[in-house]
Structure 1
Amino acid sequence: MVERIICYRAPSTVADVDAVADWLAARVDADVAVRDRFLDVHRTDDLAERFAEARVPSPYERETGNTMLGTIRYEERALENPEREGGVLYDGVQVQRALNAALPAAERGLETLHVPVLDRAIGTWGDHDGRWHKRVTVLGQPALVSVPGLYEAPAKPESYYKEKQRHALLSGDTPPREVLENQVDGEFLIADDPRTTDVLKGTVLQGHHYLETGEAFCDREGCRLFNAHYQADLLAAHLREPAFCDDHARLYGP
């Protein structure tokens, strides 16, 4: 049984982790605490190298890692100055193992759930299609939550990709993200979206629910525990009423 949940801030993002923790505390039978950035609180000497090993060099190659000195130096700078990190995809399972190893032994048990809210893009390998997929969460201990994943992992409206392709055919290059976001109709989260915190509330709850019940996600669209693969479904699950399906409303309130 989960007795304590520790959420970690992501200061280089718009995520208000204290507000997420307050929302969570009203819905779960566990103590909820907030700490500063996980990568500062639980920094280990080999963390930069572990991130370098978890780098995904190609979306279609299973092998990960680039431990050349320059890459490790980059990861060291990213640990010190997180606002300088970006554009890199990491194997979420490898990152999870690295962060688990960084936890103090007394807090590594499953009665204390750690939820690092990260400013990095994480992914998992898909054996079914032979490619990496960006993820919002990697459930387990700790339960990883990626803020960039909220913006990048769930698919945007089809019109977004059509406009991107049209621009590439006309100009020969990929248009800036901001251009596409202004030209495409349809709801989806964008970088630094003010709705980020509200969406994170249910996302963090997914981590608790998995450790407490063994159930990864809810299969009912519109429930905050639903694993949304499309932006429209993500927003419907986290920003629309009711917040939960009937089964999970009994656990976490209306």
Structure 2
Amino acid sequence: MVERVICYRAPTTVADVDAIADWLAERVDATVETRERFLDVHRTDGLAERFAEARVRSPYDRDTGNAMLGTIRYEERALENPEREGGVLYDGVGIQRALNAALPAAERGLETLHVAVLDRAIGTWGDHDGRWHKRVNVLGQPAIVSVPGLYEAPAKPEEYYKEKQRHALLSGDTPPREVLENRVDGEFLIEDDPRTTDALCGYVLQAYDVLETGEAFCDREGCRLYNAHYHEGLIEAQLRDPEFCDEHDRLYGTA
């Protein structure tokens, strides 16, 4: 049984982890607290090497890692100056193992859940189709919640990708938010979206729920515990009422 949840801030993102922790504390039977960035609080000497080992080489290559000195130096700089990191996809399970090893032994038990909100893109390998898939979270100890994953993992409307490609051909860069929102039908979240904090609440609760109940995700669309594969489903589950299906409302509802 989870007695304590520790959420770690992601200062280079718009995610308000203190607000997420407050939301969670109203819904779970555990104490909830926040700490500074996980990669600062639990920094270990070999962490840069572990991140280098977890780098995804190619979307269709199961093997990961780049042990070249330059890559390790990059990861060292990214740990010290996280605002300079970007554009790299990491094996979420590999990162989870590295962060678990960095936890103090006294806090590694499952009665204390650590939730590392990260500014890194993470993925998991799909045996069914032989490719990497970006994820919003990787459940376990510690649970990893990827802020970039919130924007990048669920599929957006097809017109979004067409408009992005069209704009890139004309100007060489990414279209501004207002262009995408005005020209693309359907709802979606993009980088630094003001709805980021609200949307992440459910993904943090998913990390608690799997340890508490042994069941991962909910199969009912519209529930905060639903694992949405499209942005429309994400918005329906995380940003619209009701928050939960009937079953999970009995566990986590506040009414």
TM range (shorter): over 0.9
Distance between the aligned counterparts of 2:130 and 2:193, measured in 1? 31
TM-score, normalised to structure 1's length? 0.95
Shift of 1:185: 2.7
Shift of 1:162: 3.1
CA contact (8 A) 1:164 1:174 kept: no
CA contact (8 A) 2:119 2:146 kept: yes
Q: Which amino acid aligns with 1:193?
A: D
Give the CA RMSD over aligned residues.
1.5
Distance between the aligned counterparts of 1:30 and 1:167, measured in 2? 48
Equivalence for 1:176: 174
Equivalence for 2:154: 154
Pair 27,195 (structure 1): closer, same or farther in 2 beyond 3 Å:
same
Distance between the aligned counterparts of 2:176 and 2:93, measured in 1? 31
Distance between the aligned counterparts of 2:77 and 2:235, measured in 1? 34
CA contact (8 A) 2:167 2:175 kept: no
Distance between the aligned counterparts of 2:85 and 2:118, measured in 1? 11
Q: Secondary structure at the match of 2:237?
A: helix
Equivalence for 2:222: 222
Pair 132,11 (structure 1): closer, same or farther in 2 beyond 3 Å:
same
Q: Which amino acid aligns with 1:97?
A: R
Distance between the aligned counterparts of 1:165 and 1:9, measured in 2? 33
Q: Which amino acid aligns with 1:161?
A: Y
Count of aligned pairs between the two proteins: 252
Is 1:2 matched up with 2:13? no
Distance between the aligned counterparts of 2:87 and 2:176, measured in 1? 16
Shift of 1:142: 0.4
Shift of 1:160: 1.2
Distance between the aligned counterparts of 1:204 and 1:147, measured in 2? 11
Equivalence for 2:15: 15
Shift of 1:163: 2.9
Q: Secondary structure at the match of 1:29?
A: coil
Q: Which deviations, in whole Å up to 9, do the C-alpha atoms of 1:20-55 show, x marking residues without a partner?
A: 000100100000010000000000000000000000
Q: Which amino acid aligns with 1:181?
A: L
Q: How does 1:199-238 map to 2 (within 5 A)?
A: 199-238=199-238
Q: How does 1:1-254 map to 2 (within 5 A)?
A: 1-166=1-166, 171=169, 175-178=173-176, 181-182=180-181, 183-253=183-253, 254=255
Percentage identity across paired residues of the two chains? 79
Q: Secondary structure at the match of 1:244?
A: coil
Shift of 1:139: 0.3
Q: Secondary structure at the match of 2:128?
A: coil
CA contact (8 A) 1:222 1:245 kept: yes
TM-score, normalised to structure 2's length? 0.95
Q: Which amino acid aligns with 1:84?
A: R
Q: Which deviations, in whole Å up to 9, do the C-alpha atoms of 1:204-224 show, x marking residues without a partner?
A: 000000011111100000000
Distance between the aligned counterparts of 2:10 and 2:85, measured in 1? 13
Shift of 1:9: 0.1
Distance between the aligned counterparts of 1:209 and 1:159, measured in 2? 35
CA contact (8 A) 1:96 1:142 kept: yes
